[in-house]
Amino acid sequence: MRVKNLFYWPGMKLQVEEFVKQCSTCQHAKHEHTHPAGALQPLPIPARVWGEVTMDFIEGLPKSEGADVILVVVDRLSKYAHF
């Protein structure tokens, strides 16, 4: 039953919100308000080598010749990587 149906005092809404934020049981019992994700669909297979690539950075490396980041390029079809 909702608190506001039974009680009222000035500042009640803020006090209830603060109580719920600090209550670990309340935090664990919360429901998600989003629909579950659908089935994942595979990406199409590329038609040729190096036709589609992915790129990413590797960071947090020790400095080498003034650089501390590596760009990694990977071909999606052959899985060949270029650093």
44 inside domain: no
pLDDT, one tens digit per residue, over 6-28 is: 888 899 989 988 988 888 888 77
Cα–Cα distance, 13 to 26 (Å, whole number): 16
CB 73 within 8 A of CB 55: yes
39 inside domain: no
Please give the residue range of the domain that contains residue 59.
53-82
5 inside domain: no
Question: Could you tell me the two tokens for 4?
Answer: 């506001």
Overall domain count for the chain: 1
Could you tell me if residue 69 is left (phi over 0), alpha (psi between -120 and 50 degrees) or otherwise beta?
Answer: beta
Section 53-62 average pLDDT: 94
User: The pTM is what?
Assistant: 0.49
CB 80 within 8 A of CB 53: no
65 inside domain: yes
- For the chain, give the longest Cα–Cα distance: 70
